Structure 1
Protein backbone atom coordinates (compact mmCIF):
# COMPACT_ATOMS: atom_id res chain seq x y z
CA UNK A 1 0.00 0.00 0.00
CA UNK A 2 1.42 3.39 -1.00
CA UNK A 3 0.91 6.65 0.83
CA UNK A 4 -1.35 9.22 -0.80
CA UNK A 5 0.45 11.88 -2.76
CA UNK A 6 0.45 15.48 -1.46
CA UNK A 7 -1.97 16.41 -4.25
CA UNK A 8 -4.40 13.65 -3.27
CA UNK A 9 -4.20 14.64 0.39
CA UNK A 10 -4.95 18.26 -0.48
CA UNK A 11 -7.91 17.18 -2.57
CA UNK A 12 -9.31 15.07 0.27
CA UNK A 13 -8.90 17.95 2.73
CA UNK A 14 -10.66 20.32 0.36
CA UNK A 15 -13.46 17.83 -0.19
CA UNK A 16 -13.90 17.28 3.55
CA UNK A 17 -14.31 20.98 4.29
CA UNK A 18 -17.99 21.90 3.80
CA UNK A 19 -18.82 25.07 1.90
CA UNK A 20 -19.95 27.99 4.12
CA UNK A 21 -22.61 28.75 1.50
CA UNK A 22 -25.73 27.24 0.04
CA UNK A 23 -25.85 27.43 -3.76
CA UNK A 24 -29.48 28.26 -4.48
CA UNK A 25 -31.56 28.41 -7.62
CA UNK A 26 -33.27 31.72 -8.40
CA UNK A 27 -37.00 31.04 -8.81
CA UNK A 28 -38.19 34.49 -9.90
CA UNK A 29 -37.12 38.13 -10.15
CA UNK A 30 -39.32 41.24 -9.98
CA UNK A 31 -38.03 44.70 -10.93
CA UNK A 32 -40.11 47.33 -9.13
CA UNK A 33 -38.24 50.34 -10.55
CA UNK A 34 -34.87 51.01 -12.18
CA UNK A 35 -33.45 51.06 -8.64
CA UNK A 36 -35.36 48.34 -6.76
CA UNK A 37 -35.89 44.63 -7.30
CA UNK A 38 -36.91 41.50 -5.43
CA UNK A 39 -36.06 37.87 -6.02
CA UNK A 40 -36.92 34.48 -4.61
CA UNK A 41 -34.71 31.44 -4.17
CA UNK A 42 -35.30 27.81 -3.35
CA UNK A 43 -35.11 27.26 0.39
CA UNK A 44 -32.69 24.58 1.61
CA UNK A 45 -34.51 21.89 3.58
CA UNK A 46 -32.24 22.33 6.60
CA UNK A 47 -32.33 26.15 6.70
CA UNK A 48 -34.05 27.58 9.80
CA UNK A 49 -34.39 31.22 10.84
CA UNK A 50 -36.47 33.56 12.97
CA UNK A 51 -38.70 36.09 11.22
CA UNK A 52 -36.75 39.36 10.92
CA UNK A 53 -33.25 37.85 10.72
CA UNK A 54 -30.72 38.50 7.96
CA UNK A 55 -28.27 36.33 6.08
CA UNK A 56 -25.33 36.85 3.74
CA UNK A 57 -26.25 36.78 0.05
CA UNK A 58 -23.79 36.91 -2.83
CA UNK A 59 -22.37 35.71 -6.09
CA UNK A 60 -19.17 33.82 -6.92
CA UNK A 61 -16.18 36.08 -7.51
CA UNK A 62 -15.25 36.87 -11.07
CA UNK A 63 -12.08 35.36 -12.58
CA UNK A 64 -11.39 33.20 -9.53
CA UNK A 65 -11.81 36.01 -6.99
CA UNK A 66 -13.51 35.47 -3.63
CA UNK A 67 -17.33 35.55 -3.53
CA UNK A 68 -18.90 39.00 -3.16
CA UNK A 69 -21.37 39.01 -0.26
CA UNK A 70 -23.68 41.43 1.52
CA UNK A 71 -26.12 41.18 4.44
CA UNK A 72 -29.76 40.92 3.37
CA UNK A 73 -32.84 40.71 5.55
CA UNK A 74 -34.98 37.70 4.73
CA UNK A 75 -38.30 39.05 3.47
CA UNK A 76 -40.09 35.73 3.99
CA UNK A 77 -41.65 34.52 7.25
CA UNK A 78 -39.94 31.62 8.99
CA UNK A 79 -42.45 29.10 7.65
CA UNK A 80 -42.23 30.01 3.94
CA UNK A 81 -41.13 27.39 1.42
CA UNK A 82 -39.06 29.88 -0.55
CA UNK A 83 -36.81 32.71 0.55
CA UNK A 84 -37.45 36.24 -0.69
CA UNK A 85 -35.07 39.22 -0.75
CA UNK A 86 -35.56 42.92 -1.52
CA UNK A 87 -32.60 44.83 -2.95
CA UNK A 88 -31.49 48.20 -4.22
CA UNK A 89 -29.54 48.50 -7.46
CA UNK A 90 -26.19 50.26 -7.22
CA UNK A 91 -24.77 50.77 -10.76
CA UNK A 92 -21.14 50.32 -9.72
CA UNK A 93 -21.76 48.31 -6.53
CA UNK A 94 -19.49 45.28 -6.11
CA UNK A 95 -22.51 42.99 -5.66
CA UNK A 96 -25.72 44.68 -6.81
CA UNK A 97 -24.27 45.78 -10.15
CA UNK A 98 -24.23 42.04 -10.94
CA UNK A 99 -27.05 40.79 -8.73
CA UNK A 100 -29.62 43.02 -10.46
CA UNK A 101 -29.00 41.04 -13.67
CA UNK A 102 -29.98 37.64 -12.29
CA UNK A 103 -32.84 35.74 -13.90
CA UNK A 104 -34.82 32.65 -12.97
CA UNK A 105 -32.60 29.59 -13.16
CA UNK A 106 -29.42 31.41 -12.09
CA UNK A 107 -27.54 30.50 -8.90
CA UNK A 108 -26.83 32.74 -5.92
CA UNK A 109 -24.85 32.05 -2.77
CA UNK A 110 -26.41 32.25 0.69
CA UNK A 111 -24.69 31.92 4.04
CA UNK A 112 -25.78 29.13 6.36
CA UNK A 113 -26.09 31.16 9.56
CA UNK A 114 -28.95 33.66 9.83
CA UNK A 115 -28.73 36.20 12.64
CA UNK A 116 -30.00 39.60 13.73
CA UNK A 117 -31.82 41.64 16.35
CA UNK A 118 -34.98 42.57 14.41
CA UNK A 119 -36.84 39.68 16.02
CA UNK A 120 -39.68 39.46 18.50
CA UNK A 121 -37.38 37.73 21.00
CA UNK A 122 -35.46 41.02 21.43
CA UNK A 123 -38.56 42.95 22.55
CA UNK A 124 -40.41 42.89 25.83
CA UNK A 125 -44.19 42.71 25.89
CA UNK A 126 -46.33 45.61 24.68
CA UNK A 127 -49.61 46.51 23.03
CA UNK A 128 -48.48 48.20 19.81
CA UNK A 129 -45.64 47.17 17.49
CA UNK A 130 -44.14 49.78 15.16
CA UNK A 131 -42.14 48.49 12.19
CA UNK A 132 -40.35 51.58 10.83
CA UNK A 133 -38.27 51.30 7.67
CA UNK A 134 -36.85 53.36 4.83
CA UNK A 135 -36.19 52.05 1.31
CA UNK A 136 -35.25 48.37 1.30
CA UNK A 137 -35.36 48.51 5.11
CA UNK A 138 -38.94 47.33 4.56
CA UNK A 139 -37.65 43.78 3.96
CA UNK A 140 -37.66 42.47 7.55
CA UNK A 141 -41.20 43.81 8.06
CA UNK A 142 -42.38 41.55 5.24
CA UNK A 143 -41.19 38.71 7.44
CA UNK A 144 -42.29 39.97 10.86
CA UNK A 145 -45.74 41.03 9.57
CA UNK A 146 -46.41 37.44 8.43
CA UNK A 147 -45.27 35.92 11.73
CA UNK A 148 -48.28 34.55 13.69
CA UNK A 149 -46.63 35.40 17.02
CA UNK A 150 -46.63 39.08 16.03
CA UNK A 151 -50.42 39.17 16.23
CA UNK A 152 -50.69 37.09 19.38
CA UNK A 153 -48.22 39.36 21.21
CA UNK A 154 -49.46 42.75 19.98
CA UNK A 155 -52.96 44.13 19.55
CA UNK A 156 -51.85 46.52 16.83
CA UNK A 157 -49.06 46.34 14.21
CA UNK A 158 -48.07 49.47 12.24
CA UNK A 159 -45.78 49.22 9.21
CA UNK A 160 -44.19 52.60 8.36
CA UNK A 161 -42.35 52.85 5.05
CA UNK A 162 -40.56 56.03 3.93
CA UNK A 163 -39.27 56.43 0.36
CA UNK A 164 -38.25 59.26 -1.98
CA UNK A 165 -40.80 58.74 -4.75
CA UNK A 166 -44.25 57.16 -4.89
CA UNK A 167 -43.06 54.46 -7.29
CA UNK A 168 -40.56 53.36 -4.63
CA UNK A 169 -43.39 52.13 -2.39
CA UNK A 170 -42.71 48.50 -3.28
CA UNK A 171 -45.12 46.04 -1.67
CA UNK A 172 -47.72 48.79 -1.16
CA UNK A 173 -50.44 46.58 -2.66
CA UNK A 174 -49.30 43.70 -0.50
CA UNK A 175 -49.62 45.64 2.76
CA UNK A 176 -52.95 47.22 1.80
CA UNK A 177 -54.59 44.14 0.26
CA UNK A 178 -52.44 41.09 -0.40
CA UNK A 179 -51.58 40.31 3.20
CA UNK A 180 -55.29 40.03 4.00
CA UNK A 181 -55.37 36.91 1.80
CA UNK A 182 -52.51 35.22 3.64
CA UNK A 183 -53.77 31.75 4.65
CA UNK A 184 -52.02 31.85 8.02
CA UNK A 185 -52.44 35.42 9.33
CA UNK A 186 -54.79 37.10 6.84
CA UNK A 187 -57.68 37.63 9.25
CA UNK A 188 -55.37 38.93 11.99
CA UNK A 189 -53.64 41.32 9.59
CA UNK A 190 -56.98 42.68 8.38
CA UNK A 191 -57.99 43.44 11.95
CA UNK A 192 -54.66 44.47 13.51
CA UNK A 193 -52.26 45.73 10.81
CA UNK A 194 -51.99 49.33 9.60
CA UNK A 195 -49.78 50.47 6.73
CA UNK A 196 -48.37 54.02 6.86
CA UNK A 197 -46.29 55.10 3.81
CA UNK A 198 -44.56 58.49 3.53
CA UNK A 199 -42.89 60.06 0.49
CA UNK A 200 -40.20 62.74 0.71
CA UNK A 201 -39.76 64.07 -2.84
CA UNK A 202 -43.25 64.05 -4.38
CA UNK A 203 -46.74 65.17 -3.48
CA UNK A 204 -48.38 62.54 -1.30
CA UNK A 205 -51.13 62.36 1.30
CA UNK A 206 -48.54 61.73 4.02
CA UNK A 207 -45.47 63.65 2.84
CA UNK A 208 -42.04 63.92 4.43
CA UNK A 209 -39.62 61.89 6.48
CA UNK A 210 -41.04 59.62 9.15
CA UNK A 211 -38.89 61.33 11.78
CA UNK A 212 -40.44 64.70 10.94
CA UNK A 213 -43.93 63.25 11.17
CA UNK A 214 -43.06 61.76 14.56
CA UNK A 215 -41.74 65.12 15.82
CA UNK A 216 -44.73 67.08 14.52
CA UNK A 217 -47.19 64.57 15.93
CA UNK A 218 -48.74 64.07 12.47
CA UNK A 219 -47.95 60.35 12.51
CA UNK A 220 -49.98 59.80 15.66
CA UNK A 221 -52.79 62.16 14.62
CA UNK A 222 -53.17 60.39 11.27
CA UNK A 223 -53.50 57.06 13.06
CA UNK A 224 -55.76 58.50 15.76
CA UNK A 225 -53.32 57.57 18.49
CA UNK A 226 -52.02 59.47 21.55
CA UNK A 227 -49.09 61.72 20.62
CA UNK A 228 -45.68 60.16 21.28
CA UNK A 229 -44.32 56.73 22.16
CA UNK A 230 -44.86 55.13 25.55
CA UNK A 231 -42.53 52.58 27.18
CA UNK A 232 -45.68 51.05 28.68
CA UNK A 233 -47.42 50.26 25.40
CA UNK A 234 -45.18 50.79 22.37
CA UNK A 235 -42.45 48.56 20.95
CA UNK A 236 -40.44 49.62 17.91
CA UNK A 237 -38.20 48.00 15.28
CA UNK A 238 -36.00 50.15 13.01
CA UNK A 239 -34.35 49.31 9.68
CA UNK A 240 -33.10 51.41 6.77
CA UNK A 241 -30.88 54.47 6.44
CA UNK A 242 -28.47 55.10 9.28
CA UNK A 243 -29.66 58.72 9.49
CA UNK A 244 -33.26 57.61 10.12
CA UNK A 245 -32.22 54.92 12.59
CA UNK A 246 -30.01 57.27 14.58
CA UNK A 247 -32.60 60.06 14.71
CA UNK A 248 -35.50 57.77 15.55
CA UNK A 249 -33.51 55.94 18.23
CA UNK A 250 -32.72 59.30 19.86
CA UNK A 251 -36.42 60.21 19.76
CA UNK A 252 -37.35 56.88 21.34
CA UNK A 253 -34.75 57.37 24.08
CA UNK A 254 -36.24 60.81 24.78
CA UNK A 255 -39.53 59.04 25.52
CA UNK A 256 -37.77 56.80 28.03
CA UNK A 257 -37.51 53.74 25.81
CA UNK A 258 -34.56 51.37 26.04
CA UNK A 259 -32.81 49.50 23.24
CA UNK A 260 -33.13 45.74 23.36
CA UNK A 261 -31.07 42.81 22.10
CA UNK A 262 -31.29 39.04 21.90
CA UNK A 263 -29.50 38.83 25.23
CA UNK A 264 -31.52 41.56 26.93
CA UNK A 265 -34.93 42.34 25.40
CA UNK A 266 -36.04 45.99 25.46
CA UNK A 267 -38.52 48.53 24.11
CA UNK A 268 -36.98 49.00 20.67
CA UNK A 269 -34.42 47.31 18.44
CA UNK A 270 -32.35 48.24 15.42
CA UNK A 271 -30.03 46.29 13.16
CA UNK A 272 -26.43 47.35 13.71
CA UNK A 273 -25.08 45.03 11.02
CA UNK A 274 -26.32 47.25 8.22
CA UNK A 275 -24.48 50.37 7.17
CA UNK A 276 -27.06 51.85 4.83
Structure 2
Protein backbone atom coordinates (compact mmCIF):
# COMPACT_ATOMS: atom_id res chain seq x y z
CA UNK A 1 0.00 0.00 0.00
CA UNK A 2 1.33 3.42 -0.95
CA UNK A 3 1.13 6.15 1.68
CA UNK A 4 0.25 9.51 0.21
CA UNK A 5 1.86 12.39 2.09
CA UNK A 6 1.69 16.08 1.44
CA UNK A 7 4.56 18.54 1.85
CA UNK A 8 4.55 20.73 4.98
CA UNK A 9 2.13 23.67 4.83
CA UNK A 10 4.41 26.70 5.14
CA UNK A 11 3.29 30.27 5.80
CA UNK A 12 4.60 33.55 4.42
CA UNK A 13 6.26 35.88 6.92
CA UNK A 14 3.86 38.24 8.68
CA UNK A 15 4.80 41.64 10.10
CA UNK A 16 2.59 41.22 13.18
CA UNK A 17 3.10 37.56 14.08
CA UNK A 18 5.87 35.05 14.58
CA UNK A 19 5.93 31.83 12.53
CA UNK A 20 6.45 28.50 14.29
CA UNK A 21 6.60 24.91 13.09
CA UNK A 22 4.30 22.18 14.40
CA UNK A 23 6.16 19.52 16.40
CA UNK A 24 3.41 16.99 17.13
CA UNK A 25 -0.36 16.50 17.06
CA UNK A 26 -2.42 14.22 19.32
CA UNK A 27 -6.10 13.54 18.60
CA UNK A 28 -7.99 12.51 21.75
CA UNK A 29 -11.31 11.85 19.99
CA UNK A 30 -13.41 13.30 17.17
CA UNK A 31 -13.99 16.49 19.15
CA UNK A 32 -10.65 17.21 20.83
CA UNK A 33 -6.96 17.40 19.99
CA UNK A 34 -3.65 18.71 21.32
CA UNK A 35 -0.64 19.98 19.45
CA UNK A 36 2.68 21.67 20.09
CA UNK A 37 4.72 24.17 18.13
CA UNK A 38 8.31 25.28 18.34
CA UNK A 39 8.95 27.99 20.88
CA UNK A 40 10.72 30.96 19.28
CA UNK A 41 13.82 32.02 21.21
CA UNK A 42 12.35 35.47 21.82
CA UNK A 43 9.04 34.20 23.21
CA UNK A 44 8.54 34.55 26.98
CA UNK A 45 5.40 33.83 29.00
CA UNK A 46 4.15 33.04 32.50
CA UNK A 47 2.55 29.67 33.17
CA UNK A 48 -1.21 30.05 32.71
CA UNK A 49 -1.15 32.80 30.08
CA UNK A 50 -2.75 32.74 26.62
CA UNK A 51 -1.59 33.87 23.21
CA UNK A 52 -3.02 34.37 19.74
CA UNK A 53 -2.36 31.59 17.23
CA UNK A 54 -3.69 31.08 13.74
CA UNK A 55 -3.48 30.25 10.05
CA UNK A 56 -4.36 31.90 6.77
CA UNK A 57 -8.03 32.05 5.85
CA UNK A 58 -9.36 31.34 2.36
CA UNK A 59 -8.58 34.91 1.33
CA UNK A 60 -4.98 34.75 2.47
CA UNK A 61 -5.44 36.81 5.64
CA UNK A 62 -4.21 35.76 9.07
CA UNK A 63 -7.07 34.25 11.07
CA UNK A 64 -6.12 34.39 14.76
CA UNK A 65 -7.76 33.17 17.96
CA UNK A 66 -6.76 33.25 21.65
CA UNK A 67 -5.52 29.92 23.04
CA UNK A 68 -4.26 29.16 26.53
CA UNK A 69 -0.75 27.74 26.56
CA UNK A 70 -0.81 24.25 28.08
CA UNK A 71 2.95 23.87 28.51
CA UNK A 72 4.81 25.42 31.46
CA UNK A 73 6.97 28.52 31.21
CA UNK A 74 10.19 26.47 31.21
CA UNK A 75 9.27 24.28 28.22
CA UNK A 76 11.03 24.53 24.87
CA UNK A 77 7.73 24.05 23.04
CA UNK A 78 4.28 25.66 23.18
CA UNK A 79 1.47 23.17 23.71
CA UNK A 80 -2.25 23.80 23.09
CA UNK A 81 -5.57 21.99 23.60
CA UNK A 82 -8.37 22.63 21.12
CA UNK A 83 -11.86 21.52 20.24
CA UNK A 84 -12.73 20.53 16.68
CA UNK A 85 -15.54 22.45 15.02
CA UNK A 86 -16.33 21.21 11.52
CA UNK A 87 -17.41 24.62 10.23
CA UNK A 88 -15.30 26.73 12.61
CA UNK A 89 -13.37 29.44 10.75
CA UNK A 90 -10.08 28.44 12.41
CA UNK A 91 -10.58 25.02 14.01
CA UNK A 92 -11.85 23.49 10.75
CA UNK A 93 -8.34 24.15 9.39
CA UNK A 94 -6.38 23.78 12.62
CA UNK A 95 -7.54 20.21 13.23
CA UNK A 96 -5.87 19.15 9.96
CA UNK A 97 -2.35 20.30 10.88
CA UNK A 98 0.54 17.85 10.81
CA UNK A 99 4.11 17.93 12.10
CA UNK A 100 6.31 20.40 10.19
CA UNK A 101 3.35 22.56 9.13
CA UNK A 102 3.54 26.17 10.30
CA UNK A 103 1.27 28.36 12.44
CA UNK A 104 1.24 32.05 13.23
CA UNK A 105 1.97 32.99 16.83
CA UNK A 106 1.24 36.27 18.58
CA UNK A 107 4.23 38.11 20.04
CA UNK A 108 2.68 39.09 23.39
CA UNK A 109 1.12 36.48 25.69
CA UNK A 110 -1.04 37.76 28.53
CA UNK A 111 -3.65 36.60 31.01
CA UNK A 112 -4.81 36.46 34.61
CA UNK A 113 -4.73 32.70 35.27
CA UNK A 114 -1.29 33.12 36.79
CA UNK A 115 0.06 32.82 40.31
CA UNK A 116 1.01 36.52 40.31
CA UNK A 117 -2.70 37.44 40.35
CA UNK A 118 -3.34 35.46 43.54
CA UNK A 119 -2.60 36.29 47.16
CA UNK A 120 -0.54 33.75 49.13
CA UNK A 121 -2.56 30.76 50.37
CA UNK A 122 -2.38 27.10 51.36
CA UNK A 123 -4.62 25.37 48.80
CA UNK A 124 -4.89 26.15 45.10
CA UNK A 125 -8.01 24.85 43.35
CA UNK A 126 -7.97 24.93 39.54
CA UNK A 127 -11.54 24.38 38.33
CA UNK A 128 -11.99 23.78 34.62
CA UNK A 129 -14.51 22.46 32.11
CA UNK A 130 -13.63 21.13 28.65
CA UNK A 131 -10.60 22.83 27.11
CA UNK A 132 -10.50 25.09 30.16
CA UNK A 133 -8.03 22.47 31.38
CA UNK A 134 -5.27 23.95 29.21
CA UNK A 135 -3.92 26.79 31.41
CA UNK A 136 -4.01 24.49 34.44
CA UNK A 137 -1.76 21.99 32.67
CA UNK A 138 0.73 24.82 32.36
CA UNK A 139 0.43 25.90 35.99
CA UNK A 140 0.54 22.35 37.42
CA UNK A 141 3.78 21.59 35.56
CA UNK A 142 5.56 24.67 36.89
CA UNK A 143 7.72 24.02 39.98
CA UNK A 144 7.01 27.51 41.31
CA UNK A 145 3.37 26.68 42.06
CA UNK A 146 4.40 23.97 44.54
CA UNK A 147 6.54 26.47 46.41
CA UNK A 148 3.61 28.86 46.68
CA UNK A 149 0.93 26.36 47.78
CA UNK A 150 0.87 23.31 50.04
CA UNK A 151 -1.76 21.60 47.88
CA UNK A 152 -2.59 21.96 44.19
CA UNK A 153 -6.00 20.52 43.27
CA UNK A 154 -7.02 20.25 39.59
CA UNK A 155 -10.70 19.58 38.87
CA UNK A 156 -11.71 18.79 35.28
CA UNK A 157 -15.35 18.39 34.27
CA UNK A 158 -16.31 16.96 30.85
CA UNK A 159 -19.34 15.39 29.23
CA UNK A 160 -17.78 12.12 28.07
CA UNK A 161 -14.98 9.93 29.38
CA UNK A 162 -13.01 10.29 26.14
CA UNK A 163 -12.98 14.07 26.69
CA UNK A 164 -10.69 13.62 29.71
CA UNK A 165 -7.56 14.75 27.88
CA UNK A 166 -4.29 14.00 29.71
CA UNK A 167 -6.14 11.62 32.06
CA UNK A 168 -3.31 9.11 32.36
CA UNK A 169 -0.63 11.74 32.97
CA UNK A 170 -2.73 13.53 35.56
CA UNK A 171 -3.86 10.35 37.32
CA UNK A 172 -0.16 9.45 37.64
CA UNK A 173 0.36 12.81 39.39
CA UNK A 174 2.67 14.05 36.63
CA UNK A 175 5.13 11.25 37.41
CA UNK A 176 6.81 11.60 34.00
CA UNK A 177 7.56 15.29 34.50
CA UNK A 178 11.15 15.58 35.75
CA UNK A 179 10.83 19.08 37.19
CA UNK A 180 7.75 18.57 39.36
CA UNK A 181 7.34 14.81 39.83
CA UNK A 182 8.59 14.73 43.43
CA UNK A 183 6.58 17.75 44.56
CA UNK A 184 3.49 16.70 42.62
CA UNK A 185 3.51 13.25 44.23
CA UNK A 186 2.99 14.92 47.59
CA UNK A 187 1.03 18.04 46.68
CA UNK A 188 -0.94 17.48 43.45
CA UNK A 189 -4.47 16.07 43.45
CA UNK A 190 -6.51 15.42 40.29
CA UNK A 191 -10.31 15.19 40.32
CA UNK A 192 -11.85 14.25 36.94
CA UNK A 193 -15.63 14.20 36.65
CA UNK A 194 -17.94 13.17 33.80
CA UNK A 195 -21.49 14.47 33.47
CA UNK A 196 -23.09 12.39 30.67
CA UNK A 197 -21.52 8.93 30.89
CA UNK A 198 -20.90 6.46 33.73
CA UNK A 199 -17.67 7.27 35.61
CA UNK A 200 -16.37 6.88 39.15
CA UNK A 201 -16.97 10.58 39.75
CA UNK A 202 -19.97 12.24 38.15
CA UNK A 203 -21.66 15.60 38.44
CA UNK A 204 -20.81 19.19 37.81
CA UNK A 205 -18.07 20.92 39.76
CA UNK A 206 -20.52 22.89 41.87
CA UNK A 207 -22.21 19.66 42.97
CA UNK A 208 -18.84 18.16 43.93
CA UNK A 209 -18.09 21.24 46.01
CA UNK A 210 -21.50 21.13 47.67
CA UNK A 211 -21.30 17.45 48.65
CA UNK A 212 -17.68 17.67 49.80
CA UNK A 213 -16.16 15.47 47.07
CA UNK A 214 -13.57 18.12 46.19
CA UNK A 215 -12.28 18.21 49.74
CA UNK A 216 -11.93 14.49 50.44
CA UNK A 217 -8.60 12.87 51.29
CA UNK A 218 -5.84 13.35 50.24
CA UNK A 219 -6.95 16.99 50.30
CA UNK A 220 -6.61 18.34 53.82
CA UNK A 221 -8.22 21.37 55.40
CA UNK A 222 -11.76 22.74 55.51
CA UNK A 223 -14.51 20.84 53.68
CA UNK A 224 -15.52 24.04 51.91
CA UNK A 225 -13.89 26.96 50.14
CA UNK A 226 -12.32 29.33 52.66
CA UNK A 227 -10.88 32.73 51.65
CA UNK A 228 -8.37 32.47 54.49
CA UNK A 229 -6.63 29.45 53.00
CA UNK A 230 -7.90 28.85 49.45
CA UNK A 231 -7.06 30.38 46.11
CA UNK A 232 -9.05 29.47 43.04
CA UNK A 233 -8.59 29.61 39.27
CA UNK A 234 -11.63 29.25 36.99
CA UNK A 235 -11.59 28.46 33.27
CA UNK A 236 -14.17 26.92 30.95
CA UNK A 237 -17.85 27.43 30.34
CA UNK A 238 -19.26 30.89 30.92
CA UNK A 239 -22.08 29.53 33.06
CA UNK A 240 -19.69 27.67 35.37
CA UNK A 241 -17.48 30.71 35.79
CA UNK A 242 -20.41 33.04 36.40
CA UNK A 243 -22.02 30.77 38.99
CA UNK A 244 -18.77 30.04 40.80
CA UNK A 245 -17.68 33.67 40.87
CA UNK A 246 -21.02 34.65 42.38
CA UNK A 247 -20.77 31.89 44.97
CA UNK A 248 -17.20 32.77 45.90
CA UNK A 249 -17.94 36.46 46.25
CA UNK A 250 -20.80 35.51 48.56
CA UNK A 251 -18.22 33.73 50.75
CA UNK A 252 -15.98 36.80 50.91
CA UNK A 253 -13.58 35.93 48.07
CA UNK A 254 -12.23 38.86 46.06
CA UNK A 255 -11.38 38.53 42.36
CA UNK A 256 -7.72 39.17 41.62
CA UNK A 257 -5.82 40.65 38.70
CA UNK A 258 -2.21 41.20 37.76
CA UNK A 259 -2.37 44.69 39.28
CA UNK A 260 -4.36 43.68 42.38
CA UNK A 261 -3.92 40.06 43.49
CA UNK A 262 -6.96 38.44 45.10
CA UNK A 263 -8.50 35.17 46.24
CA UNK A 264 -9.69 33.91 42.85
CA UNK A 265 -9.07 34.62 39.16
CA UNK A 266 -10.85 34.05 35.87
CA UNK A 267 -9.72 34.70 32.31
CA UNK A 268 -11.94 37.58 31.22
CA UNK A 269 -10.53 37.49 27.69
CA UNK A 270 -12.58 34.34 27.11
CA UNK A 271 -15.80 35.22 28.94
CA UNK A 272 -16.41 38.82 27.86
The TM-score normalised by the length of structure 2 is 0.92
> Does the 8 A contact of 1:26 with 1:107 survive in 2?
yes
Residues paired across the two proteins, number: 259
User: For 2:103, which of 101, 108, 118 is the aligned residue?
Assistant: 108
Alignment of 1:1-276 (within 5 A): 19-64=15-60, 66-177=61-172, 179-221=174-216, 223=219, 225-275=221-271
For residues 41 and 248 of structure 1, what CA distance do their matches in structure 2 show?
33
> Does the 8 A contact of 2:227 with 2:251 survive in 1?
yes
Unpaired stretches in structure 2, ≥5 consecutive residues: 1-12
For residues 275 and 93 of structure 1, what CA distance do their matches in structure 2 show?
18
For residues 53 and 241 of structure 2, what CA distance do their matches in structure 1 show?
23
> Does the 8 A contact of 2:25 with 2:99 survive in 1?
yes
For residues 211 and 22 of structure 1, what CA distance do their matches in structure 2 show?
40
Q: CA shift at 1:60, angstroms?
A: 1.4
Task: Could you list the structure 1 runs, at least 4 aligned residues long, displaced by more than 2 angstroms after superposition.
Answer: 215-227
> Does the 8 A contact of 1:228 with 1:255 survive in 2?
no
For residues 216 and 143 of structure 1, what CA distance do their matches in structure 2 show?
28
Query: Alignment RMSD, CA only?
Result: 1.6
The TM-score normalised by the length of structure 1 is 0.90
Change (3 A) 1:145 1:206: same
CA shift digits 1:206-240 (9 cap, x unpaired): 10110122123332246565221111100000001
1:180 aligned counterpart, secondary structure:
coil
Q: CA shift at 1:178, angstroms?
A: 6.3
Q: CA shift at 1:62, angstroms?
A: 1.7
Unpaired stretches in structure 1, ≥5 consecutive residues: 1-16
> Does the 8 A contact of 1:123 with 1:235 survive in 2?
yes
CA shift digits 1:32-90 (9 cap, x unpaired): 010000001011001000000000011012233x2111100000100101110000011
For residues 105 and 275 of structure 1, what CA distance do their matches in structure 2 show?
33
CA shift digits 1:232-257 (9 cap, x unpaired): 10000000111111111112112111
